[in-house]
């Protein structure tokens, strides 16, 4: 079904976002993907993520599709005024700047809600209000202090997760809060402020391990060194150095596993009959499996596991996902045009929001915008004349 037939449940909703990096833009992207008109207010020289290299090179095109861009210098009084006029037409205002920044420009919740009690204001911060809220937070910072790096790394070697997990999750929670506030506004007629924070996101992720400690009295071990509840639940290096994850997490799966891979002798061992027995024998069992699997190809093992209905996974790199048959067949990837850098104008594929609505994926309606691509359109709609817009652009108040 064409992307244009995907539902747009938030069509007609206007969002003005003052965001940068990943957390705030993720919130805006979620609302935009569901049909909202999302206006990204950038500095006149552009969101700095447009120019990031290395691991940050994909930030802007990933999290800013389906948005309009206007460049405004908030430091100039005319720029702050233009931003406030934009916000007068907004249902939702989102930001992720350090505490106190938006107040300087009359763009904080107290200022905007005094004029429009219906406005919903979503703040994305490092910490919710409290003793830490003055600190500068990064995904790395909260992963280290919130237990995630400890749980991910090997003992004595804390390691951050391999993606911007808290930034992305913070934006998702911000969007969830905005949707809840919209429903409440439909009942009461009043908006509210919603706050989302990196640290609290991370602590939420750690809740299962905190309760594990509360229930067992044992310190949760980092994932690479944990007391595994299943004997066959690991990555195996096989023929030609390839790797594959294989698992059998029940007695029935163990029997199927042995049958599928030709390990009748292991299935017949009384010491391996139950899951708990296999866990007790795990070092010996894994050593045997590694030896036997070393000469078999990952492709053959995957075929055997899939035919048997057992859990398995090839070990892939991010670039491998561009050719994933499932994503290609189900429309999980969509074309976008890069707006910046040496490859500006080049078409590439991006991942879509991982839900369906009415059986459809939420597609790309607007390409990641060029800086200021919609400035004139938006300012004219806010009541500025063509001459006024020309003057603002000439004086670099807007771009």
User: Do 92 and 193 share a domain, yes or no?
Assistant: yes
pLDDT at 226: 85
H or E segment to which residue 110 belongs: helix 109-115
Q: Could you tell me if residue 222 is inside a domain?
A: no
Q: How confident is the model at residue 28 (pLDDT cuts 50, 70, 90)?
A: very high
CATH number of the domain encompassing residue 306: 3.30.1540.10
pLDDT for 1 beyond 70: no
User: Do 47 and 196 share a domain, yes or no?
Assistant: yes
Residue range 219-245: mean pLDDT, rounded? 94
Output the six-digit token pair for 178: 């905005």
Q: How confident is the model at residue 6 (pLDDT cuts 50, 70, 90)?
A: confident
Q: pLDDT by residue (tens digit) across 269-287? A: 999 999 999 999 999 999 9
User: Do 142 and 235 share a domain, yes or no?
Assistant: no
User: What backbone phi and psi angles, to 5 degrees, belong to 350?
Assistant: -130, 165
User: Do 68 and 148 share a domain, yes or no?
Assistant: yes
H or E segment to which residue 348 belongs: strand 347-351
Q: Are strands 193-197 and 120-125 parallel, antiparallel or unpaired?
A: parallel
Q: pLDDT by residue (tens digit) across 66-101? A: 999 999 999 999 999 999 999 999 999 999 999 999
Structural domain for 154, as ranges: 3-206+354-394
pLDDT at 2: 39
User: Do 161 and 283 share a domain, yes or no?
Assistant: no
Q: pLDDT by residue (tens digit) across 148-200? A: 999 999 999 999 999 999 999 999 999 999 999 999 999 999 999 999 999 99
> What is the DSSP secondary structure assignment for residue 339, as one 8-state letter?
-
User: Do 53 and 197 share a domain, yes or no?
Assistant: yes
Average pLDDT value over all residues in the chain = 96
Buried b / exposed e over 79-99, threshold 16 CB at 10 Å, is bbebbbebbeebbbbbbbbee
Residue range 259-271: mean pLDDT, rounded? 97
Whether residue 80 contacts residue 9, with contact meaning beta carbons closer than 8 Å, is answered with: no
pLDDT for 108 beyond 60: yes
Q: pLDDT by residue (tens digit) across 293-332? A: 999 999 999 999 999 999 999 999 999 999 999 999 999 9
Residue range 21-43: mean pLDDT, rounded? 98
Number of domains in the chain: 2
Instruction: Give percent above pLDDT 90 in the chain.
Output: 97
pLDDT at 340: 95
Of 168, 157, 301, the C-alpha closest to 238 is 301
Q: Which of 318, 335, 362 is the last residue of a domain?
A: 318
CATH number of the domain encompassing residue 172: 3.40.50.10540
User: Do 74 and 31 share a domain, yes or no?
Assistant: yes
């Amino acid at each position: 079904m064409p992307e244009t037939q995907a539902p747009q449940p938030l069509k007609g909703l206007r969002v003005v976002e003052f965001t940068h990096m990943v957390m705030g833009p993720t919130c805006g992207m979620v609302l935009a993907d569901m049909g909202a008109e999302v206006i990204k207010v950038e500095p006149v020289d552009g969101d700095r993520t447009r120019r990031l290299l290395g691991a940050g090179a994909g930030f802007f095109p990933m999290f800013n599709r389906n948005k309009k861009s206007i460049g405004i210098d908030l430091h100039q009084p005319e720029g702050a005024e233009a931003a406030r006029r934009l916000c007068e037409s907004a249902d939702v205002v989102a930001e992720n700047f350090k505490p106190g920044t938006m107040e300087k420009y009359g763009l904080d919740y107290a200022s905007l809600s005094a004029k429009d009690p219906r406005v919903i204001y979503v703040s994305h911060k490092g910490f919710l209000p409290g003793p830490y809220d003055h600190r500068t937070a990064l995904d790395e910072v909260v992963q280290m202090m919130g237990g995630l790096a400890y749980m991910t790394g090997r003992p004595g070697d804390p390691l951050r997760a391999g993606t911007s997990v808290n930034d992305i999750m913070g934006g998702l929670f911000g969007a969830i809060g905005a949707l809840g506030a919209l429903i409440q506004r439909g009942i009461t007629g009043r908006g509210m402020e919603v706050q989302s924070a990196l640290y609290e996101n991370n602590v939420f992720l750690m809740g299962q391990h905190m309760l594990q400690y509360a229930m067992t009295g044992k310190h949760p071990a980092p994932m690479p060194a944990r007391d595994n509840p299943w004997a066959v639940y690991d990555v195996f290096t096989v023929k030609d150095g390839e790797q594959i994850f294989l698992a059998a997490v029940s007695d029935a799966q163990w029997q199927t596993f042995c049958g599928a891979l030709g390990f009748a002798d292991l299935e017949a061992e009384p010491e391996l009959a139950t899951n708990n027995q296999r866990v007790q024998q795990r070092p010996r069992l894994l050593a045997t499996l590694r030896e036997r699997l070393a000469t078999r190809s990952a492709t053959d093992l995957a075929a055997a596991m899939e035919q048997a209905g057992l859990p398995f996974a090839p070990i892939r790199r991010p670039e491998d996902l561009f050719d994933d048959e499932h994503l290609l067949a189900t429309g999980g990837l969509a074309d976008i045009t890069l707006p910046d850098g040496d490859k500006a104008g080049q078409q590439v594929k991006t991942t879509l929001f991982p839900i369906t609505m009415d059986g459809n994926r939420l597609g790309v309606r607007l390409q990641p915008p060029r800086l200021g691509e919609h400035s004139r359109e938006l300012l004219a709609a806010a009541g500025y004349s063509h001459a006024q817009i020309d003057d603002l652009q000439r004086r670099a108040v807007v771009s």
